Amino acid sequence: MLKIAKISFLAAALGFGFHSSASADVTEALANICTIVQADDKGELRKKMRDVEQDYRLKLRDYYTGVTCDGNSLIRTALLNNAIDSGTLLVKKMPKGDLAEPEADGKTIQAWISENGLQANPIAQEVMSRI
């Protein structure tokens, strides 16, 4: 009986160790995504998203809320930096339902766009057409 308990404990500890390192790897893989969005490098952003999906089986909706760039979401960062190509790609890759949900500060992306007077931005127009 004691042998089974030791094996179970060892298996649980190893499983936790792999989970922790995998989580750290995802964070490391997404470390420069803000820079990519700010630079409006659509090709590099597409590659980063594809690599994260293949390596960690995560879609944009899975990590979107966990990534902030100076306190802003990825789409907000694209809007503020006029990164039209990257921002449009992000909007197209996000599910429609997720675009209408409030972000970390409790405001929806549409409300935030209106508050900041960014309605004329092509990314904002893409957001409005998707909702």
7-28 pLDDT, tens digit per residue, is 444 344 434 444 444 556 777 8
CA distance linking residue 5 with residue 11, whole number of Å: 10
Q: What is the mean pLDDT of residues 108-125?
A: 88
Of 36, 103, 114, 118, the C-alpha closest to 73 is 103
Mean predicted lDDT score pLDDT of the chain: 79
31-69 pLDDT, tens digit per residue, is 788 888 899 899 999 998 898 889 889 888 888 888 888
- pLDDT (0 to 100) of residue 23: 55
Q: Which two tokens stand for residue 94?
A: 């996000």
| Global pTM value | 0.75
- List the single range of 4-13, 79-88, 120-129 with lowest mean pLDDT: 4-13
Q: Give the amino acid at 36.
A: I
